[in-house]
Amino acid sequence: MNKRPLLVTIIGLLHIVVGTGGFAFHLNEIGPQHAFQGGNCWIFVIESVAIVGGTLLLRGNNWGRWVALAWITFHVVFSSFFSLGKAAGHAVILVLFAYVLFRPEANTYFRRQRTMGRAA
């Protein structure tokens, strides 16, 4: 059995919590009757991507790393249209996530999970 690195666990759980919290917050803010009108549905797609990315990370799926990084990269780009401070904050998070998710321990974990999946 291949032990998941603690920081990968934290990032996976963080994605799930932030995605779920964002989903609930925006649903409350927009209201269920307007959730899928206009561009509002994209909010829920983005929040769902966070949940999926976090789940894939916890399951040891290599795609989870890329989904998680794509999600935070989207936030860097999107927030740059509104606030350079928020974009900078998201950029710092992006760099930290990339560093953690591609460290040797994480590479070993995702490689072993991929190998174990093929053998099954």
Look at residue 101 in the predicted model and tell me its pLDDT: 96
Give 40: exposed, middle or buried? Use CB within 10 Å, 0-12, 13-18, 19+: middle
Residue 13 lies in a domain: yes
Backbone phi, psi, residue 93, to 5°:
-60, -40
pLDDT per position in the chain (120 positions), as tens? Answer: 568 999 999 999 999 999 999 888 877 777 767 666 777 778 888 999 999 999 999 999 999 999 999 999 999 999 999 999 999 999 999 999 999 999 999 999 998 766 665 544
pTM metric for this prediction: 0.83
Per the structure, the complete domain to which residue 77 belongs is given by 6-113
Residue 54 lies in a domain: yes
Residue 120 lies in a domain: no
Residue 119 lies in a domain: no
Q: How many domains does the chain have?
A: 1
Look at residue 35 in the predicted model and tell me its pLDDT: 63
